Amino acid sequence: MKADIVPLVVGAIVFLSSLVSLKLGISVAIIEILFGAVAGHLGFKAEDWMIYIANFGGIFLTFLAGTEIDTALMREKFKETFLLGTLSFLVPFVVVFLYTYHVAGWSYKAALIAGTALSTTSLAVVYSVLVETGLAGSGIGKFLMAATFVTDIGTALALSVLFVKPTLYTLIFISVSLNVLYFADKVSHVIFSHKMLKGKVIEPEIKYVFFLLLILMYFAALGQGHAVLPAFVLGLFMAKHFHKEAQSQVVRNRLKTVAYAFVTPIFFIVGGMRVSAPLILASFGLFAILFGLKIASKFAGVYFLAKKYVPARSMYSTLLMSTGLTFGTISSVFGLNMGYINISQYSLLVGVVIASAVLPTFIAQKWFRPVHSEDIIETNGQGNA
């Protein structure tokens, strides 16, 4: 039997990425994508097991993003977060779609993928930055998380609605998704609190979450759809269970441990392996234009409302909401897997996504980082967090 070196290479990338991330203070996901791109350039290819785990990792990340949302604050600040989040998605989506379709000459579906991928705001990046800055639990931090949630819902809806091919199986997928969401909402508290299950080394709660996500993935594939939206809503429904008692919070922390130790690194490494640096360099002009369009359209959609709702932190908020990573990568991978975009277009989109995760974050933290972690939301000039 011939020894397979690819798992060894992947293991080395996962470990080294964490060390480099800690040393440089850059999101580990970015490092994993870059190392994956280097591995791909050296001739290593993603194997079938990696591709499946990567697909699961994208859905798992989507689910975890949903669990981070403060639904109480969303209800309290619904108008503000809805307007900010909606324009944060809609303006870049329209601008990038129109440019790639009418100017760059991409196909209709390729342009839709481009608009979707570059309209996102990275909840993972925003959350990480807010934690590092000490603002995660503050009014401004929760406000930005809620607005980012609305933006990502736009992305999830775009992937789920624009590219669906309705069949009988599509109806089955929708029906199963609704039933899974209803079941999870009604039963999860029993799973997380039952004395026979909680605190066991075999982790039945984590296996329960994985089972629900695998159900969504299977029926999404059967219905030629995508499990992004139901997985995101599932995370939102489960958030109240995770916040309700200490044991449930322990379960969520363990889920994050599993995710960031193995599952999501495979997602980002596989994504990186599909990036071609030579293809980006060959179309560097288009790369620069797409990056400029993403940032400029994010500013057009976010800055003026942020100036109204969070005047003291408008530039900081706009820069953070200009970041992209997880959902942008998920959208690009989806487009490549479905044949809507080619490898050159995929490389351009993922390259722009990575650049948008790094540069706005660096500028926000370097020159606009809030000094006081007790900052609160200001609406119309009055603090009312």
pLDDT on residue 383: 39
Q: What is the pLDDT of residues 242-300, one digit of tens each?
A: 666 555 667 777 887 888 888 888 988 888 887 788 888 889 999 999 999 999 999 99
Average pLDDT on 235-248 reads: 70
pLDDT at 201: 56
Mean pLDDT of the chain: 82
Q: Do 373 and 41 meet the contact criterion of CB atoms below 8 Å apart?
A: no
Each residue of 93-133: pLDDT tens digit?
999 999 999 999 999 999 999 999 999 887 767 876 776 66
Q: What does the alpha-carbon distance between residue 18 and residue 354 come to, in Å, rounded to a whole number?
A: 17
How many Å is the Cα radius of gyration of the chain? 20
**In this predicted structure, what is the pLDDT of residue 243?**
63
Residue 24: the pLDDT is 80
pLDDT digits 0-9 by tens, 285-321: 999 999 999 999 999 999 999 988 888 788 988 998 9
Structure pTM?
0.77
Assigned fold of 6-383: Na+/H+ antiporter like fold (1.20.1530)
Cα–Cα distance for residue pair 379/310, rounded to 1 Å: 6
- Measured on CA atoms in the order 307, 310, 314, 319, is the torsion positive or negative? negative
Question: Once rounded to an integer, what is the mean pLDDT over residues 328-357?
Answer: 89
Contact 243, 191 (CB under 8 A): no
Q: Residue 255 has what pLDDT?
A: 82
- Of the two residues 143 and 85, the one the predictor is more confident about is 85
**pLDDT of amino acid 300:** 94
Amino acid at residue number 262? F
